[in-house]
Amino acid sequence: MKIKKGDNIIVISGKDKGKTAPVLKAFPALNRVVVEGVNVRKIHERARKGGQKGQIVDRALPINVSNVMIVDPKTHKRTRVGKERRGDKTIRIAKKSGAALDK
Residues 46 and 64 in one domain: yes
In whole angstroms, what is the distance from residue 89 CA to residue 40 CA?
Answer: 37
Q: What pLDDT, in 10s, does the model give residues 18-59? A: 999 999 999 999 999 999 999 999 999 999 888 899 999 999
Residues 45 and 65 in one domain: yes
Residues 55 and 33 in one domain: yes
Average pLDDT value for the chain: 95
For residue 2, the tally of other CB atoms under 10 A from its CB is: 14
Q: For the chain, how many structural domains are there in total?
A: 2
What CATH number does the domain containing 30 carry? 2.30.30.30
Residues 51 and 95 in one domain: no
Give the three-state DSSP class for 82.
strand
pTM equals 0.85
Question: Residue 39: which domain range?
Answer: 1-71
Q: Is residue 61 over pLDDT 90? A: yes
Residues 63 and 84 in one domain: no
Residues 62 and 49 in one domain: yes
Residues 65 and 92 in one domain: no
Residues 63 and 91 in one domain: no
